[in-house]
């Protein structure tokens, strides 16, 4: 049996959230039965480090090796987790042979630059905006020249590089023309089993959720789901809420997520007397998030940059319209008057106008139209293509029978 070893600092059964983490979870869930999955990661649970464990995710078995214990998984740390993980990986003494290596960040691939082992990586970042445009949230943005040199050295050793962000894929094909066939655009796929329309309808789900969470079902609900980090620009959520027409002053903002900016958000809500309009729900499991998607009136995103955020795909699949800025692939995903609205400007009033249009015209954004708009992004389809390409890469690297025997 072939073995795919995924290398990424996370625990599928932990609380860490983000597009890269969802990508790994969906890889495990939707991997073909004839492929054995290993994950070398980190964990915040009380587990023995540097010992393989047999675990189960959504009914799929996989082997898990935690190298580090990582508290506060949704907070940034220094030294950065990617560096500490790569050092721990180097010290682990793991063999690189007889596996297909799948790097969900490119940095650990620096440890495997030679040999015949099939090597594949994913780039999740919008490299131009997050790294090359000057100092920002990503540490590499403080030394973009060094990043390019490391990136080039790693890419030379890889057989495939999947790009989640379309502009990054296009940039790489221009920047590295001799390797352009290595780079493939693969948008993120969402779990269509968990995130789908409720057969019982929105109102029944809303009543049950309102009772469980002590919410007023008669007030409009604006939902945010994501990491509370600078990239997501969560303070803009409060600005948009404040700019709403007074007729919508009863609107409730529900914030699902954790992160470094949680304290600043809560302090501002208290300072400006918005406690009755903003509710912080913290970390929630995927099944709970699906219930919020089905019950809310819209999803509001405020990111400074994105690729194609899973939250938008999940929300739409559950029948929830999306209001977001025109960043990344959101501008082409969101169809005005059909499944949401793209915010046309950068001022809070611009976001408020888009919110007001959706909140006051719910019939325009039917659950069915929203859900149908993301049919092509279902994980069953996208991850099937991913694994076909990964296995094709392994076969091209040599006799596939030797992969996974060690």
What does the alpha-carbon distance between residue 243 and residue 331 come to, in Å, rounded to a whole number? 23
- The segments of the chain whose pLDDT lies below 50 read 399-401, 403-406
Predicted local distance difference test score (pLDDT) of residue 163? 95
Report the sign of the C-alpha dihedral through residues 344, 347, 349, 351, in that order. positive
What does the alpha-carbon distance between residue 309 and residue 361 come to, in Å, rounded to a whole number? 25
- Which are the contacts of 237, defined by CB distance < 8 A and separation ≥ 6? 224, 253, 255, 300, 302
Place of tokens 């790994």: 24
DSSP for residue 225: E
Which domains are delineated in the chain? 2-189+378-402 (3.40.50.2000), 202-377 (3.40.50.2000)
Predicted local distance difference test score (pLDDT) of residue 336? 96
Q: Which pTM value belongs to this model? A: 0.89
How would you classify residue 259: left for phi > 0, otherwise alpha for psi between -120 and 50, otherwise beta? Answer: left
What does the alpha-carbon distance between residue 196 and residue 5 come to, in Å, rounded to a whole number? 30
What does the alpha-carbon distance between residue 7 and residue 15 come to, in Å, rounded to a whole number? 18
Number of neighbouring beta carbons within 10 Å of residue 344: 13
Q: Which two tokens stand for residue 184?
A: 């493939």
SS3 312: helix
Predicted local distance difference test score (pLDDT) of residue 96? 86
Predicted local distance difference test score (pLDDT) of residue 308? 87
Predicted local distance difference test score (pLDDT) of residue 139? 85
């Amino acid at each position: 049996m072939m073995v795919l070893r995924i290398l990424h600092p996370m625990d599928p059964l932990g609380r860490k959230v983000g597009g890269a983490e969802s990508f790994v979870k969906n890889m495990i869930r939707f991997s073909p039965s004839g492929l054995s999955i290993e994950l070398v990661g980190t964990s915040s649970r009380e587990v023995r480090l540097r010992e393989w464990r047999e675990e189960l995710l959504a009914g799929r078995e996989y082997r898990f090796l935690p190298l580090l214990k990582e508290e506060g998984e949704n907070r940034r740390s220094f030294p950065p987790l990617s560096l500490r993980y790569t050092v721990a990986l180097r010290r682990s003494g793991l063999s690189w042979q007889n596996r297909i290596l799948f790097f969900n960040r490119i940095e650990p691939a620096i440890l495997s630059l030679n040999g015949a082992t099939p090597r594949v990586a994913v780039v999740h970042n919008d490299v131009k905006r997050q790294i090359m445009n000057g100092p920002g949230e990503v540490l590499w943005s403080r030394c973009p020249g060094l990043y390019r040199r490391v990136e080039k050295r790693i890419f030379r050793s890889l057989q495939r590089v999947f790009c989640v962000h379309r502009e990054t894929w296009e940039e790489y094909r221009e920047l590295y023309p001799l390797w352009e066939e290595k780079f493939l655009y693969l948008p993120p796929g969402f779990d269509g089993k968990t995130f789908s329309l409720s057969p019982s309808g929105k109102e029944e789900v809303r009543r049950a959720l309102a009772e469980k969470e002590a919410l007023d079902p008669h007030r409009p609900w604006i939902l945010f789901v994501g990491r509370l980090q600078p990239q997501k620009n969560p303070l803009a959520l409060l600005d948009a809420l404040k700019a709403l027409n007074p007729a919508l002053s009863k609107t409730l903002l529900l914030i699902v997520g954790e992160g470094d900016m949680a304290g600043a958000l809560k302090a501002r809500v208290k300072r400006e007397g918005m406690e009755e309009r903003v509710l912080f729900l913290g970390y929630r499991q995927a099944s709970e998030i699906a219930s919020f998607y089905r019950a809310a009136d819209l999803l509001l995103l405020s990111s400074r940059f994105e690729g194609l955020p899973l939250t938008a795909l999940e929300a739409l699949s559950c029948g929830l319209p999306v209001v977001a800025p025109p960043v990344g692939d959101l501008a082409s995903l969101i169809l005005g008057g059909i499944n949401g609205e793209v915010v046309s400007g950068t001022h809070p009033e611009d976001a408020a106008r888009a919110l007001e249009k959706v909140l006051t015209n719910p019939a325009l954004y039917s659950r069915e139209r929203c859900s149908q708009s993301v049919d092509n992004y279902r994980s069953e389809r996208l991850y099937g293509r991913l694994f076909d390409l990964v296995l094709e890469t392994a076969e091209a690297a040599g006799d596939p029978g030797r992969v996974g025997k060690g």
